[in-house]
Amino acid sequence: MNIPSQMTAVAIVQPGGPQALQARSEPLPSTGPDDVLIRVAAAGVNGPDLAQRRGHYDPPPGASPLPGLEIAGEIAAVGKNVTAWRVGDRVMALTNGGGYAEYAAVPAGQVLPTPDGWAVAEAAALPETWFTITQSLVMRAGLTSGMTVLAHGASGGIGGATIQIATILGARAIGVVSSPQKARYARTLGAIATIDYTSEDIAARALELTEGRGVDRIIDVVGGPMAEVNLAACARGAHVVQVSTLDGAKATLSLRTIMAKQLTLSGSTLRPQSSATKAEIAARIRRDLLPALEQPNIPKPAITCFPLADAAAAHQLMESRAHLGKVVLTTQFGTQF
């Protein structure tokens, strides 16, 4: 494979609005002995990219300063210690940054095969949210078959991954949405019910849908006042997982409710974690979720694609909250898949 020395990539020229994203020529990233170099066909856009662009979520030490946490494409080169992948393999990967580019270097353990039946843009939309939810909800909060999960932001990336992973593992997902259209979308992904927070009381409806018991697990991206609502929606022994604080990082909580219901509250951010941890999550996805992703009737997230050079427009769409599912950037290589 002919590998150039320069590529087109999107950089954050200075922290700020979407116009801070500019396509320019950049040197290819260097491929370490434990890395693979991926020729990127498509790169998913995620909430953390918006935070990074605004200057609120700096890359961890050693990570690429370019945005982009997930990609799909093909292996262009492998580091000298890598035996699991070969040039030409079709893959999707969780990057440590630098996904908005024509080439990205990724630790080999963070790479997964593209699921059979998934278009490259669909595969690019999986890793960031599926790694996040697999770790926080499945590995840490112990989601198992038969549980009921409340997914906030159900029409977005994290909420959609929560619904799909819960459904694959035999749990029941209830999606929290803001419109009938978003409710329909959450149901196509597998939600057994939805709650429209613009017209319904989330906790009351969650109790009603669980015959008064409450939900067993909650994935929350909202935070702020939602923290108290979550406690009211919880069953005894439930676990609330905080993965973002879009409506506020501070909350007033009833500690008495946490004690009386024997609740667990946890939180996590994926990006700063080690490559070894990310490789453990990848292995778990490969074992427990990938076979289900390859079933012909599996629902796919809705995708809106933009060319790489239009990354600013992609961020604007995410910020408008009008999107369903995922927003994806495609490179010049996207048409070859």
> Which residues form the interface with ligand NAP (CB under 6 A)?
46-48, 51, 128-129, 132, 153, 155-159, 177-178, 182, 221-222, 243-244, 246-247, 268-270, 318, 321
Residue nearer to ligand NAP on the CB measure, 82 or 163: 163
Residue nearer to ligand NAP on the CB measure, 201 or 247: 247
Give exposure, 247-286, as e/b (b: 16+ Cβ within 10 Å): eeeebeeeeeeeeebebbbeeeebbebebeebbbbbebbe
Specify the 3-state DSSP secondary structure of 237: strand
Specify the 3-state DSSP secondary structure of 102: coil
CB of 215 to ligand NAP, least distance (A): 17
Count CB-CB contacts under 10 A for residue 121: 22
CB of 323 to ligand NAP, least distance (A): 7
Closest CA to 112 of 164, 80, 75: 75
Residue nearer to ligand NAP on the CB measure, 8 or 178: 178
- The structure tokens 């593209």 sit at 114
The alpha carbon of residue 6 and the mean position of all alpha carbons in its chain are separated, in whole angstroms, by 29
Q: How far apart are CA 253 and CA 178, in angstroms?
A: 24
Sequence-distant (≥ 6) Cβ neighbours of residue 148 within 8 angstroms: 171, 172, 173, 174, 209, 210, 215, 216, 217, 235
CB of 153 to ligand NAP, least distance (A): 3
CB of 102 to ligand NAP, least distance (A): 23
CB of 161 to ligand NAP, least distance (A): 8
CB of 334 to ligand NAP, least distance (A): 21
Closest CA to 15 of 76, 73, 67: 67
Residue nearer to ligand NAP on the CB measure, 38 or 126: 126
Sequence-distant (≥ 6) Cβ neighbours of residue 33 within 8 angstroms: 79, 80, 81, 82
Helix H or strand E encompassing 11: strand 6-12
CB of 157 to ligand NAP, least distance (A): 3
Residue nearer to ligand NAP on the CB measure, 47 or 115: 47
Residue nearer to ligand NAP on the CB measure, 46 or 210: 46
Residue number with the smallest Cβ distance to ligand NAP: 156
CA distances from 335 to 77, 119, 121, 304, 330 (A): 20, 11, 10, 15, 8
Residue nearer to ligand NAP on the CB measure, 188 or 269: 269
